[in-house]
Amino acid sequence: MSWTEDVPECVDDYLTFLEVLKGYSSATIDAYGNDLLQFQHVLQAKKMSLDAPETINRTHVLAFLANLHRQGLGKSSVARKLSSLRGFFRYLIRQKILTHDPCSEVHNPKQPQPQPTFLNVDQAFSLLEARVDPGPRELRDLALGELLYGSGLRISEALGLDACDFDPARQTLRIMGKGKAERVAPLTGISIQRLQKYLDQRACFHPAATEPALFLGMRGKRLQRRQANRIIDSLSALAGLPQHISPHALRHSFASHLLSSGADLRSVQELLGHVRLSTTQRYTHLQMNELMRVYDSAHPRSTVNKDRNRVALESLKPEEKH
């Protein structure tokens, strides 16, 4: 981690704690460090510093959030920076440097709850059955798409797979999910076929003997997220789908289609690797929205159809109304 300016000693200690004891990635540590340095700049304008954390109170945290709001930062970004401050002050309390958390009475900005984008069954099948030449790269692309939809993987989980995580005998994958939580994901028959066909051609990417990654880029190294986004976008275009499709949309489609077919919420939660059931419940809202749409478009007494029925009734001859 490289900084262009000095960081307060307590911040440096905290970031070292995250790196050594918590095992956080360098990108995460950099993000936390940058958030704390932003807060430090706001404090310095008030002749204060994180080097004297006992002088910081709720008012200073609120001033920092107000400053972020004036900069036009989105609510999710503000919430993330507030989370960085919370983690830092809790660390100081555990180290007995502080006795009170200045963030304890500061609430996260209320977040909008956008519904996840998903494909209908026909669209998902069209994307995964796109006609492509059966070369190594195309076999890789179809195997990746099939995993995202067939097993509901996060794109980070799929790209983090090693070849040894695939167990064709048990028809499963070993997945390392969020927070290093490990789970086993079942595979569809088509996923197994496509993975085996791709693995037969994996050497064509010329990986180093020590490269463990399942999915490889053209340079023989682990496939990156940006490349994966382009792959799904390309399959979407080949299938003639009008909208941009992200890898995560295939995961959403997996969950939505399982629930539509009668799968119980707990099972879907387990398959998705969600810690909280409330996260999975977002998909039940999708099902209810679709049910309401069908109801409104089809039921003769629905709100949507009242005007349509009145017009139809008024068009009848007097003797036909009875």
**Sheet harboring 182-186: ordered strands across?**
166-167, 172-176, 182-186
Instruction: Extract the tokens encoding 54.
Output: 């006992």
Q: Find the catalytic residue in 140, 222, 251, 257.
A: 251
CB 111 within 8 A of CB 76: yes
Round to whole Å and give the CA distance between 48 and 221: 47
Count other Cβ atoms within 10 Å, centred on residue 276.
8
Cβ neighbours for 88, distance < 8 A, ≥ 6 positions apart:
11, 14, 32, 36
Active site residue 198: no
Which helix (H) or strand (E) covers residue 174, if one does?
strand 172-176
Active site residue 251: yes
Instruction: Extract the tokens encoding 159.
Output: 């790209």
> Hey, what amino acid is at 79?
A
CB 273 within 8 A of CB 183: yes
Active site residue 178: yes
Look at the alpha carbons of 94, 100, 102, 103 in this order and tell me if their dihedral is positive or negative. positive
Q: Find the catalytic residue in 154, 183, 206, 317.
A: 154
- DSSP structure string for 92-116: HHHTTS-SS-TTTTPPPPPPP-PPP
Active site residue 90: no
Nearest to 213 by CA among 267, 273, 159: 159
Round to whole Å and give the CA distance between 49 and 134: 61
Q: Find the catalytic residue in 46, 100, 178, 310.
A: 178
Give me the active site residues, please. 154, 178, 248, 251, 274, 283
